[in-house]
Structure formats: C-alpha cells, structure tokens
Amino acid sequence: MITSDLWRGKRFAVLGLARSGAATVRALVASGAEVIAWDSDEGRRLALLQAPPLQGRGWGWGLSPSAAPVESPHPNPSPEGEGLLTFADPETIDLTGFDGLIVSPGVPINRHPIAAKARAAGVPIIGDIELFAQARAALPPHKVVGITGTNGKSTTTALIHHILQTAGVPTLMGGNIGLPILAQEPLPAGGVYVLELSSYQIDLTFTLDCDVAVLLNISPDHLDRYDGFDAYAAAKARLFAMQSPTYAAIISIFDAPSAAIARSLSARGEHLTKIASGFCMDQSRWPSLQGPHNAQNALAAINACEALGVPQAAIDKGLESFTGLAHRMETVATRNGVRFVNDSKATNAESAAPALSAFDGIHWILGGRAKSPSLDACRPGFPHIRAAYTIGEAGQQFYELLDGLVPVSYCETLDRAVMMAASKAQSGETVLLSPACASFDQFRDFEARGDAFRAAVEALA
C-alpha cells in the first residue's frame, strides 16, 4: 500500500468505509496516524477489522464495530509502531485539532451535516486522491495522468493504462476505477499512475499536480451535488487549476463548457492540446474502439501517451489489442445470430447515445433512476431502434416519452425486459442494455446491474 511519514502522529476522521475509505484507513494507520473511522453499515466496520493488514496485527484487537462510539483507542498498538484505530461517528465527537476529515466520494458534502461541522472546527475535508497527492514526494520518481469528464473516463483511463503496459512502462490504474490507489503498491522509478477522476473526487483534492491532465467532455450530470451546471463544470476545471502550467493539458472541445475551459488555458501555448470535433480516424484496426465517441477517447489517449514519450509503434499496438471494459458496450453473448450488449455503465442519456449510434437493429433496454427527464441526447440513434423496453423508476416516464416514436413496452424489471427483447429480436439484431439512468433503484451499482443482465441472458432457453 502507499503510506507516508507525513501522516505519522496526526489525527484523521474517515467517514465511509467502502473500498476507498477502507483503503484510506489502512494506509493511514500503517503510516502511524490516529484514525477515527465510521460507516453506518456495521458490516463494513467489521470487514475493516477482519481484513489485512489490520487483522492480527494488534491495533484491531478488542475493538467493537458496534454503533456505540469507542471512547479510546486500543492501548497496545502493533510492535511495528503503526497508528491507532478507533470507531466513532464523526458527527458525535469534537473534531477540533484533527488534521483532516476524509470522506468517500459518495458522501454528499454539499448537504451532509458533517461538512459544516468540520468547517466550523477548521478541519480540511479531503479525499483519498488528496492523500495520494501528499504522498507523492516520497514515492520513487514517477508521473501522473488524470482523466476527467462526464462520459468516457473509464474507457480512456483503461486505454492509456493498457498502452503504457504494452510499451513496457510500469503503470497503475486507480481513482474512480479498479483498486483504490492507496491500496496499491508504489511503482518503481519511471512509473505512471493513471487516475480516473470524478467531479466528486476533484472536489476533495487540492494539491494533485498531474503531469498530464485530460478533459473529455462536460454535460449535465450529478446536479444534485452542485449549485447548477456551471458549478459542476467548474469542478472539472479545478483539475487544471491544480496543474503546473508547463505540464500537458489535453481538452476535447466538442461542447461549450469544455471549450471555455480550453480558452481559459490559452496562455499555456504548446502545453495545451485541443481535440476538435470532426477529426477523422481509421478505427478499423481497433475492434473495441468503435463509434465516434471512441474516436474521441482514443485521440485523447494517443495525445496523453505522446506527452509521456511513448513510441508511436507501442501506441498503435495498444490501440489494436485493447479489449474494452466490462459493462461498457460489452458483448456478453450471441444467440441465434442476436448479439447481447451490456452497456450498464451508461448512466445518463449522453453516455447511452454512442451505443445507439454504434449498432443497427437495436432492441433497447433502458430505465432506472433518472438523472434527467430528457432523452434528447439519444434522439440521433432512434432510427436504429427496432423496439424499446423500459424498466425501473423511470420506466413509466420513459415509456410515455418514447410512445409514438419507437415501439415501446413497459417491462418494469430487467429480467422481463431481457426475455421480451430476446423473443422479438431477429438474427443480425442487437439486444442492448444502455439504461441512460443510474442503477440505485433496483441494484447496488451499475456493475451489479450489468451482472444481472449477463445472468438473464445466460438463463434464456
């Protein structure tokens, strides 16, 4: 894991013990910090104690993950000198004197009471990416690529990581994808950390100076966490505000907010690369990078890798051998000539639109918890749709919206939609799960929704 002597002897509160939160606690305790940790899910508190390196190392012994605050840390920390762990809800304790409140990106700091309490106590509110930024100075010499944008982040992050691997460059992928960055072993000298960064993570980061910073696009999303669309766009722009002006900034200027950010950085001159729409690329040799959206993702990855000094031959080889991501335009099966595509990661209309344009003869499964009542971004793909099947909270709303535009059925659940779509699809057509919605009405996350789609396809007679 990544640790730092900067944290030794300091006090931190950690709220949220899912993957990144649990990794944060382990890294801080291993660095010699005193940590007050909490999650409303008792199972996560218990799992933290049972998982290495806390298990059997001394500092977890005797602690209860119960809801009652633990008033004092374990009196016998491990002989290696690691820090102390205490369970208590930060809302119930005095935060005065703490060196930081680390919250998981899922904690809505715009409305959660812990944010006001921390600010009143003068405690900085940060995330695990900021801790990584603080730890960088003591790591072997390396570079960092940060990728943000409303859509395409995961594909572009994974593609850059894959190209670097193809080129033989030591690399790790983290942030909003894969393992939490603090949970991974530091890279040797010359390595590159490739980080997918959501706006939530950028909100909690203040000193991350990326050697290469990439902005793919900005469209309305997560507006429940921001005071309007302009504030959301400003969160994305902060990635460049933290960056040294002589480092590489790569911005796709397809949309007005991204173009405005690029204009604000015009003084950077040769250190600013702008990707304009209409750029023609031969994607025929890249089987997992089809469609205009993937042309944009690929061009951003190419520019990022060129900025890192990766040879063109390695870039070409990486583009050709990239296999894509699970839950993003992923073909999970072909039955009787019908292709079944899992695009569960398309959690808004803008991210669902590319899949509708990438296939013909589509039986479209959509719905869930809507982020917007509109499907206007998907309209260019409507001529490709044979029929639509709506599910979840937005199912009835989307049924009414699509009725009269395409044949549509309200199916309520994903398994029913898969059965109905499969019964109607003909050889050469595609059953596409591209929900244009969040998953939280019926599933834990988009991955669970994609896995349920795969299971439903496998269960077809």
Of residues 15, 23, 33, the one with CA closest to residue 183 = 23
Which residue bears the tokens 């911005």?
Answer: 251
Claim to verify: residue 368 and residue 454 sit in the same structural domain: yes
Q: From the candidates 10, 112, 222, 317, which is the catalytic residue?
A: 222
Q: What residues have CB less than 8 Å from 79, skipping those under 6 apart?
A: 58
Percent of the chain with pLDDT over 90: 75
The tens digit of pLDDT for each residue in 9-33 reads 999 999 999 899 999 999 999 999 9
Claim to verify: residue 194 and residue 304 sit in the same structural domain: yes
Claim to verify: residue 377 and residue 443 sit in the same structural domain: yes
CATH of the domain at 40: 3.40.50.720
Confidence at residue 280, expressed as pLDDT on a 0 to 100 scale: 72
Half-sphere exposure of 240 (CA within 13 A, CB side): 28
Cα separation of 172 and 440, whole Å? 29
Helix pair 349-358, 292-307: axis angle to 10 deg: 110
Cα separation of 279 and 258, whole Å? 17
Q: From the candidates 153, 161, 236, 363, which is the catalytic residue?
A: 153
Claim to verify: residue 262 and residue 315 sit in the same structural domain: yes
Residue 129 contacts residue 147 (beta carbons within 8 Å): no
At which of 94, 126, 158 does a domain end?
126
Instruction: Tell me the one-letter amino acid at 414.
Output: L
Claim to verify: residue 386 and residue 420 sit in the same structural domain: yes
Confidence at residue 82, expressed as pLDDT on a 0 to 100 scale: 55
Cα separation of 311 and 295, whole Å? 20
Calculate mean pLDDT across residues 213-225.
Answer: 86
Of residues 166, 148, 169, the one with CA closest to residue 157 = 148
Confidence at residue 57, expressed as pLDDT on a 0 to 100 scale: 38
In this predicted structure, the answer to whether residue 81 has a pLDDT above a threshold of 50 is no
φ and ψ of 170, to 5 deg: -60, 130
Residue 365 contacts residue 419 (beta carbons within 8 Å): no
Active site residue 153: yes
Give the pLDDT band (50/70/90) at residue 372: confident
Claim to verify: residue 154 and residue 267 sit in the same structural domain: yes
Confidence at residue 282, expressed as pLDDT on a 0 to 100 scale: 86
The tens digit of pLDDT for each residue in 156-179 reads 999 999 999 999 999 999 998 989
> What distances in angstroms separate CA 265 from CA 254, 271, 286, one per listed residue?
16, 9, 32
Give the pLDDT band (50/70/90) at residue 220: confident
**Using the 8-state DSSP alphabet, how is residue 429 labeled?**
-
Tokens of 58: 């001394």
In this predicted structure, the answer to whether residue 456 has a pLDDT above a threshold of 90 is yes
Tokens of 94: 């005095």
Residue 194 contacts residue 349 (beta carbons within 8 Å): no
Cα separation of 418 and 435, whole Å? 13
Active site residue 176: yes
Residue 11 contacts residue 102 (beta carbons within 8 Å): no
Confidence at residue 215, expressed as pLDDT on a 0 to 100 scale: 98
Q: Pick the more confident residue, 55 or 234.
A: 234
Range of the domain at 364: 330-458
Calculate mean pLDDT across residues 126-144.
Answer: 97
Claim to verify: residue 309 and residue 337 sit in the same structural domain: no
Active site residue 143: no
CATH of the domain at 439: 3.90.190.20
Claim to verify: residue 315 and residue 392 sit in the same structural domain: no
Claim to verify: residue 184 and residue 76 sit in the same structural domain: no
Domain count, the chain: 3
Percent of the chain with pLDDT over 70: 93
Claim to verify: residue 121 and residue 162 sit in the same structural domain: no
In this predicted structure, the answer to whether residue 67 has a pLDDT above a threshold of 50 is no
Claim to verify: residue 104 and residue 145 sit in the same structural domain: no
- The alpha-helical segments, DSSP class H, found in 198-345 are 199-203, 229-241, 256-264, 292-307, 312-321
At which of 299, 321, 343 does a domain end?
321
Give the pLDDT band (50/70/90) at residue 56: very low
Q: What residues have CB less than 8 Å from 128, skipping those under 6 apart?
A: 20, 21, 23, 24, 102, 180, 181, 182
The tens digit of pLDDT for each residue in 426-448 reads 999 999 999 999 999 999 999 99
Give the pLDDT band (50/70/90) at residue 80: very low
> What distances in angstroms separate CA 214 from CA 250, 394, 407, one per listed residue?
5, 33, 39
Q: Pick the more confident residue, 428 or 49.
A: 428
Residue 281 contacts residue 291 (beta carbons within 8 Å): no
Give the pLDDT band (50/70/90) at residue 388: very high
Confidence at residue 163, expressed as pLDDT on a 0 to 100 scale: 98
Claim to verify: residue 258 and residue 382 sit in the same structural domain: no
Q: Three-state DSSP class for 84? A: strand
Calculate mean pLDDT across residues 260-284.
Answer: 91
Residue 265 contacts residue 241 (beta carbons within 8 Å): no
Confidence at residue 323, expressed as pLDDT on a 0 to 100 scale: 86
In this predicted structure, the answer to whether residue 50 has a pLDDT above a threshold of 80 is no
Q: Pick the more confident residue, 66 or 251.
A: 251
Highest mean pLDDT among 45-59, 209-223, 322-336, 375-389: 375-389
Q: Three-state DSSP class for 363? A: strand
The tens digit of pLDDT for each residue in 294-343 reads 889 999 999 999 999 999 999 999 999 998 888 988 989 999 999 999 99
Cα separation of 351 and 6, whole Å? 40
Of residues 46, 128, 52, 123, the one with CA closest to residue 87 = 46
CATH of the domain at 271: 3.40.1190.10
At which of 321, 353, 376 does a domain end?
321
In this predicted structure, the answer to whether residue 279 has a pLDDT above a threshold of 90 is no
SS (H, E, C) 62-114: CCCCCCCCCCCCCCCCCCCCCCEEEECCHHHCCCCCCCEEEECCCCCCCCCHH
Q: From the candidates 151, 161, 162, 176, which is the catalytic residue?
A: 176
